[in-house]
Structure 1
């Protein structure tokens, strides 16, 4: 890939959606923030690029350009094998990314991703020594032994494949990598804490376990969401909180809360719980955890759910 990127044209939705490449670079403005976004897994079709639309909204909200590098792993190998245009394995890929960062000359670098992309955001963020990592529901390891120890078999087939045919370089325990390379990189780990099974009687969530493993390395902020499972990004979109969260972490700005009024179904829930004697303050807190605004939550409880 050529590193003469000052004349790279701006991306648009059509190119991001239809491109056959594994890496795309948006128009470069030296001195502005650079966000490297990693795509999530897709078994039925080629993975999409991720967060492009959200970053465009953040540009509009902040009034400033964001440099963007969009990356996807078409082989669904948690970014441990070939990424066309970047490298054949993680150490190879990180050197190309390092050269791109040097060419762009940003004010700071942020890596971001969800699930498989979250693993890449943490891994490459630590290897590059970026200022911030924003990872939604990432694994903290790709090791078969630890997956069996912690009863996390969700993607154990990928782990087995990497163990059977290991790439020339690999990073299979991000908590250990964080202890070794953490430095000044600030980790922001966003995850759901809702039990993984709907019929669970205890609060068990594997993403929460991984989040706390990463936090143990230090320099980490955790963002638990009690009414979300693994798809925490979709939960934040549904509850109109994703834009505010990204603005706060990446751009350091506070956006006004997006309107999200209490729905009729939740008003019925409020009425039933008030009838059963639940404290009003507790109901307000639960409604806010679901993303409803403070004012609408208070009004719903004060009105008895009507």
Structure 2
């Protein structure tokens, strides 16, 4: 049954948290920006809808309404099987989303997600030919043969399930899908951590970096590596107080002031020790910024040699 978008009530946190649906559509204002969010994997409970709260904050920053479609995959099948209210496989789900977009008539369509949701943001962003995709730590393929070739075993069981029991439509290589849409590629932003995947590893090995560079071969793709983050790059950006500014700039073109974060005694000691060992001040400032300190606070702390 198609979703009727006219006169939809506004969503709120309670409804988003308690809903048992796989798709929710916020109050629609035709002509305004539309953001379609895709939730990340959750093995022990129904996956949450993602980015709703961040988009509400962005509305406050911008003073403008953002149309929102919230989607999650309750089966954790990387959005390749049934999504209640939308479809039984990607082509059906894309057709339902395409119909919603036609009804909303937005000025711009953005898809966004992290991890499993990032794969969906890219897959449906390409299928729907949206203007922009923001993907945090995406895979670039779901093909088990390629996964074994790259030692990508994190979600191999899901890949094998899709390969042995394939849905009626399937997109197991985003590079191949992107090449089929070469003349209509969205503006793709890929954000990923580059810290080695294994704790204590001294090797520069990060599977998210591999996937990001593989996707960059498509073109029209901007990479944002974060050297102090692993796979959960969104949490890293939340912890370092950069997520709101990043989304505001990427989605709405709004420049927010850097959030102040005070240098703690531990960081003061770190600065002093690195300066003593001959660390370059500009490199220390860059590292501090990667950890969420503003440029002004970082530069002042380094100039003071880590002293309060």
Give the TM-score normalised by the residue count of structure 1: 0.98
Give matches, 1:122-201, under 5 Å: 122-182=122-182, 183-201=184-202
Q: Take 2:282 and 2:90, find their aligned partners in 1: how far apart are those partners?
A: 49
Structure 2 Cα separation of the partners of residues 2 and 180 of structure 1: 28
- 1:303 match: 304
> 1:92 maps to which residue?
92
Deviation string 1:145-175 (CA, Å, 9 cap, x unpaired) is 1100111100000000111100000000001
State the match for 1:266 in structure 2.
267
Instruction: Name the count of aligned residue pairs.
Output: 306
Measure, in 2, the Cα distance between the counterparts of 1:137 and 1:38: 13
* Mapped contact 2:178–2:185 kept (Cα < 8 A): no
Quote the offset at 1:3 in angstroms: 4.2
**Unmatched tracts of structure 2, length 5 or more:** none
Per-residue deviation at 1:72?
0.3
Query: Does 1:107 find its partner at 2:107?
Result: yes
Is 1:116 paired with 2:116?
yes
Distance 1:257 1:27 in 2: 31
Corresponding residue of 1:230: 231
Q: Does residue 210 of structure 1 match 2:225?
A: no
Report the equivalent of 2:253. 252
In 1, the alpha carbon distance for the partners of 2:290 and 2:62 equals 26
Structure 2 partner of 1:9: 9
Q: Where in structure 2 are the equivalents of 1:276-295 lying within 5 Å?
A: 276-295=277-296
Asked if 2 retains the 8 angstrom alpha-carbon contact of 1:110 and 1:134, the reply is yes
> 2:259 and 2:303 mapped to 1: Cα distance?
21
2:23 corresponding residue in structure 1: 23
CA contact (8 A) 1:27 1:67 kept: yes
Q: Distance in 2 between matches of 1:116 and 1:75?
A: 11
Aligned to 2:2, the other structure's residue is in SS state coil
Q: Structure 1: which 5+ residue stretches go unaligned? A: none
Displacement of 1:272 after TM fit? 1.1
CA contact (8 A) 2:140 2:212 kept: yes
More divergent stretch after superposition (259-268 vs 228-237): 259-268
- Report the Cα offset of residue 52 of structure 1: 0.1
Post-superposition, which runs of at least 4 consecutive aligned residues in structure 1 deviate over 4 A? none
CA distance in 2, matches of 1:68, 1:90: 20
Native 8 Å contact 2:2 2:85 kept in 1: no
Q: Which residue is 1:43 aligned to? A: 43
The answer to whether the 8 Å contact 1:115/1:137 transfers is yes
Partner of 2:65: 65
Which is worse superposed, 34-43 or 189-198?
189-198
Once the 2 structures are TM-superposed, how far is the Cα of residue 4 of structure 1 from its aligned partner?
3.0
SS in 2 for 1:135: strand
Shift of 1:2: 3.3
**C-alpha distance in structure 2 between counterparts of 1:278 and 1:253, whole Å:** 34
The CA RMSD measured in Å over matched residues stands at 0.9
Q: Secondary structure at the match of 2:68?
A: strand
Matched residue, 1:221: 222
- SS for the counterpart of 1:243 is helix
